[in-house]
Each structure stands twice: as C-alpha cells, then as structure tokens.
Amino acid sequence: MAAVTETIEAVQSVTESGYKWGFETDIEMDFAPKGLNEDIVRFISAKKKEPAWLLEWRLKAYRHWLTMEVPHWAAVSHPPIDFQDAFYYAAPKQGPKSLDEVDPELLKTYAKLGIPLKEQAILAGVEGAGDSPSEGGRMPIAVDAVFDSVSVATSYKERLAKDGIVFCAISEAVQTHPELVQQYLGSVVPQGDNFYAALNSAVFTDGSFVYIPKGVKCPMELSTYFRINAKSTGQFERTLIIADEGSTVSYLEGCTAPMRDENQLHAAVVELVALDDASIKYSTVQNWYPGDAEGKGGIYNFVTKRAACRGKRSKVSWTQVETGSAITWKYPSCILIGDDSVGEFYSVAITNNRQQADTGTKMFHIGQRTRSTIVSKGISAGHGQNTYRGLVKISPKASGARNFTQCDSLLIGDQCGAHTVPYIENRCMTAKVEHEATTSRIAEDQLFYCRSRGLTQEDAVGMIVNGFCREVLKELPMEFAVEAQKLLQISLEGSVG
C-alpha cells in the first residue's frame, strides 16, 4: 500500500468531535530552562554543535531582536506575549539518528497523525521501504518530521541522494553542507527582517533543508510534518530550500499541535531560492490547534515565508490551506528578480469560532516581464475574523510586468468578519495590475438544494465551501487535496444551524 493512502485514511477516520490531533505524547524530553537570553541562544547552538559563525549569526539576531517591537499593524488582537515564559528548546531525550532508532512512542504519534513514515511501509510489507522509489505505481513521499524542536526522521534519504538531492534537518545540513547553509541562510529573510523573524533567527531549533542540484527534477514530493507537543514550548523552525538552475521540486508541510488551554507560539521562517529556470512548489496544510469555541488556548502562528526568484524564468508557487491556529499571521511572498520569473500564491484561510487570520502575500516585481497570480479564498464562520492583506509592488524597471489578484470571501453566519486590504504600488508604465474581489454568503437555497438530495447540513456546508475553494485546492499535490478537503469540512463543523 502506498504510504500516502495512510495519510488520507487517517484523516478519513476523523469523526465529528472537533480537533482530532489533540493527543499528547508521553516521551521523556530534554528542555532548556525557561526564558530567553544570550545563554539560551548559546545553549541551543551548543546542543546542535554549531560552528562559530552560526552562533555569531544567532547572537546578532538576538541582539537585534531586543531592539525591536512587537508588530501591531495586523488586524489581530491578543494579550501581550511573555517571551520569558516559554521554553525555547525541547527535544526528545533519546537523540534519534535514524528511523530505526526513533522512539516507538514518537512513531505512534506520527502514525496517529497519519504521517507516512517508513514503518507504515514496513507494515505493508514493502522491502527496503525507506529506499524504494515507487510503490504500487504511486509517487512516494519523502518525509522529514519535526517534533517540537528536533527533526526526528527523514525517509527516502538514500533514494534522493542518488540524484544528489539533499533533504535533511537543517541542523544536519549545518554539519554536512555548511557552505550551502552559510551562503543562503538569511539571504532571503535577513535576521532583522521583522520581530518574529529576528526571534526565529536567534533561537531556531530545527526545520528542513532542501537542495536540488542543477537540472534535477525531484522524483517525489518532499514533505515535513511539524508538531508542537511539549507544554509551554515555542516552535521556531527554519526551512531553507534551494533549487539550482533548471531544477524542480514540490514540497509540502503539515502542522498539528495538541490541545492546550494556554497559547503557544509558533514563529517559523521559510526561505526559498530559485535560480535560472528552477521551479519550487511549496504547499502548506496548517492545522495547528485553533483553541476552543470560546477562544481559550490555541497556537499563535506568526510566520515569515519568502521566496527569491533570483534566476531568469524561475518560478515559485505558494499554496496554503490554513485551517488551524488561534491567530495566523503570515504573508508568503515572492521577490521576482530574474527576468520572466513567476510568482503564485493560492490560499484558503478558514476562521471559525474565535480564530483570527491576517494573511496574504507580497509580490515584488523587479525583473522584466515578471508575472504574479494571487488567488485568495477567505472563509469566516462563528466569530472568526479573516483579513486578506496583500502587496503588489512593481519597480520602475519591471517593464511588462503583470499581476492578477482575486480575493473572494465567504461568510457563514453574521457574527464573523472578512476584510480585504490590497495594496498596489505600481511604478512602471508598461505593467498591468488587475484586482478582483467578491464577498458572498452560503445561500439558503444552496444549502436546501444539497439537503434535499440527502446531504446533512454539515456535508452541505463542506461541499459548498470546497467548491468555493476549488481553484486553490486543485493546486495542491493530488494526495493532499483529499486531506485538505476533509480538514476544511472539519474546521467548519458546528458553524451552521
């Protein structure tokens, strides 16, 4: 059986009692003391046996962070975060080196999450599961799993290595490919870029690293699952993907966290670099714990994601399905430097109950004939607040640049809100920028039509919402589209009627 089916089945087994990923794993953990100071930064760096340059890099970020203020321009509200009241490092005590050494409790966790790790292939009787390029004709998926602060398992590594592809934990890449890490780390999102990026740069603990060599088409989906498990921990992962000339890669991240009545901070940084003719597709299915119906608990998801299309004709496509988190604050962006480079942003963001999302994208057109497409679908239900915030900036040199933006909002109920804040700065006479926006509600006649065919109210809402999001969902890798559809429906349970 293909590993992927496991994921889908795990999601299909989900029934109606809300957040299904709310279990906690009982694993012995290794914590750094609570709070944040230079010693903690040194502690993290030492734990990871990092070279001196990286420690310096972190300290510089930390010192910069101290001078910065929490951003308050986003349309979200939350009590002030006490940055001293969190753990900045939490790792399973048994340091796993390979899949076989992974704590079985952990593997169980991932099985519950529906992650297609190696053991599932073994259970299915696949010989050399970690190394087989294809099972049952399906594309396999290589997975890196990040548990709290540490990357625990990377499957299919050997298969990928045959093509010269590097796919590993970033802490491992620091050891094995220091020159690549040093060259690109912070080259897209500098240490002092913003408050949360600076914090991440100081204390990032793990995340994935991908390098696709010249001319290589990555033969499988690469995927990382993030999970926050330990109490009072923040997760600060850092992902760096470099697609060398003429290469192609599709990468997917999935996220979950246990239910807790406290708020937990997740401040990730993702940097993508695409060189000449390279193409990166980055998909996110974000299902962090959203908090309960009254807004207690949930993840604060403050993420900086940015891509540099440095090469000519390079392409980066962001697709995100954001169903979880108490607060989402993220703007995956593209800096279109290379002539004829292309940036895309496809987004579905759902806010139900007391969730808040302020999300969108920024497209910076610098090269000639650069093109960008933005399709944003915001769904608000309950008391949810959903803001699309976007910036399209076209520099005077970007002759012939084009942007098309479409923002659609769907409201369910009358207590929620949808807001669209599109900024356009066009400094180029020959550029063309188009913007379309709509706001709609699920119509009573649509619901009745579905119900009169035997669909329950919830199935009807799920179906209509999935229809509304179709343009975005079809951008997801096939295997994950099913998962995303289920998630959408689950996230909206109890929102109507």
Partner 1 sequence: MLKIENLHATVDGKQILNGLNLTIPSGEIHAIMGPNGSGKSTLSYVLAGREGYEVTEGSVTFGEVDLLAMEPEERAVAGVFLAFQAPVELPGVGNANFLRTALNAVRRAKGEAEIDAIQFLKLARARMKVLNMPDDMLKRPVNVGFSGGEKKRNEMLQMALLSPKLALLDETDSGLDIDALKLVSDTVNSLRGPDFSALVITHYQRLLTHIVPDRVHVLSAGRIVKSGGPELAHELEASGYGAIQDAAA
Residue from 37, 97, 162, 449 touching partner 1 (CB under 8 A): that is: 449
Q: Please, which residue, 212 or 465, has the CB nearer to partner 1?
A: 465
Does position 446 interact with partner 1 (CB under 8 A)? The reply is yes
Q: Please, which residue, 86 or 442, has the CB nearer to partner 1?
A: 442
Question: Torsions phi, psi of 384, nearest 5?
Answer: -65, 145
CA end-to-end distance (rounded Å), the chain: 40
Report yes or no: 283 and 221 within 8 Å, Cβ to Cβ: no
| Minimum separation from the CB atom of position 296 to partner 1 (A) | 32
Q: Please, which residue, 293 or 443, has the CB nearer to partner 1?
A: 443
Residue from 95, 100, 448, 478 touching partner 1 (CB under 8 A): that is: 448
| Minimum separation from the CB atom of position 464 to partner 1 (A) | 6
Short-list 202, 238, 268, CA closest to 63: 202
# binding residues, partner 1 (CB under 8 A)? 23
Separation CA 89–CA 260 (nearest Å): 18
Q: Hey, what are 387's tokens? A: 């803001």
Does position 450 interact with partner 1 (CB under 8 A)? The reply is yes
| Minimum separation from the CB atom of position 466 to partner 1 (A) | 7
Separation CA 158–CA 11 (nearest Å): 29
Separation CA 223–CA 142 (nearest Å): 6
Stretches 328-336, 343-351, 387-395, 454-462: which one binds partner 1 (CB under 8 A)? 454-462
Task: Please tell me what DSSP assigns to residue 368.
Answer: T
Residue from 455, 493, 494, 496 touching partner 1 (CB under 8 A): that is: 455
Give me the torsion for CA of 446, 451, 452, 454, rounded to 10°.
Answer: 140
HSE of 147 in the Cβ direction (CA atoms, 13 Å)? 27
Q: Please, which residue, 79 or 454, has the CB nearer to partner 1?
A: 454
Q: Please, which residue, 184 or 468, has the CB nearer to partner 1?
A: 468
Q: Hey, what are 438's tokens? A: 């709509």
Residue from 39, 132, 456, 478 touching partner 1 (CB under 8 A): that is: 456
Stretches 137-145, 225-233, 269-277, 466-474: which one binds partner 1 (CB under 8 A)? 466-474
Does position 406 interact with partner 1 (CB under 8 A)? The reply is no
Separation CA 332–CA 148 (nearest Å): 23
| Minimum separation from the CB atom of position 488 to partner 1 (A) | 12
Residue from 70, 423, 467, 478 touching partner 1 (CB under 8 A): that is: 467
Q: Please, which residue, 216 or 348, has the CB nearer to partner 1?
A: 348
Task: Please tell me what DSSP assigns to residue 73.
Answer: -
Residue 159, C-beta contacts closer than 8 angstroms, at least 6 positions apart: 130, 131, 132, 133, 140, 142, 219, 220
Of residues 136 through 175, those in contact with partner 1 by CB under 8 A are none
Report yes or no: 455 and 448 within 8 Å, Cβ to Cβ: no
Q: Please, which residue, 125 or 137, has the CB nearer to partner 1?
A: 137
Of residues 98 through 127, those in contact with partner 1 by CB under 8 A are none
Residue from 469, 481, 484, 490 touching partner 1 (CB under 8 A): that is: 469
Strands 141-147 and 150-154: antiparallel
| Minimum separation from the CB atom of position 402 to partner 1 (A) | 25
Crossing angle (nearest 10°) for helices 52-66 and 38-47: 150
| Minimum separation from the CB atom of position 65 to partner 1 (A) | 43
Does position 466 interact with partner 1 (CB under 8 A)? The reply is yes
Site string for partner 1, 425-444 (x = CB under 8 A): ------------------xx
Report yes or no: 365 and 431 within 8 Å, Cβ to Cβ: yes
Q: What is the CA radius of gyration of the chain?
A: 22
Q: Please, which residue, 27 or 481, has the CB nearer to partner 1?
A: 481
| Minimum separation from the CB atom of position 496 to partner 1 (A) | 12
| Helices within 326-474 (DSSP H only) | 444-451, 457-468, 470-473
Short-list 153, 148, 91, CA closest to 116: 153
Q: How far is CA 405 from CA 388, 440, 474, in A?
A: 11, 17, 17
Residue from 30, 103, 131, 471 touching partner 1 (CB under 8 A): that is: 471
Provide the binding-site residues for partner 1, judged by CB under 8 A.
Answer: 443-446, 448-457, 459, 463-464, 466-471
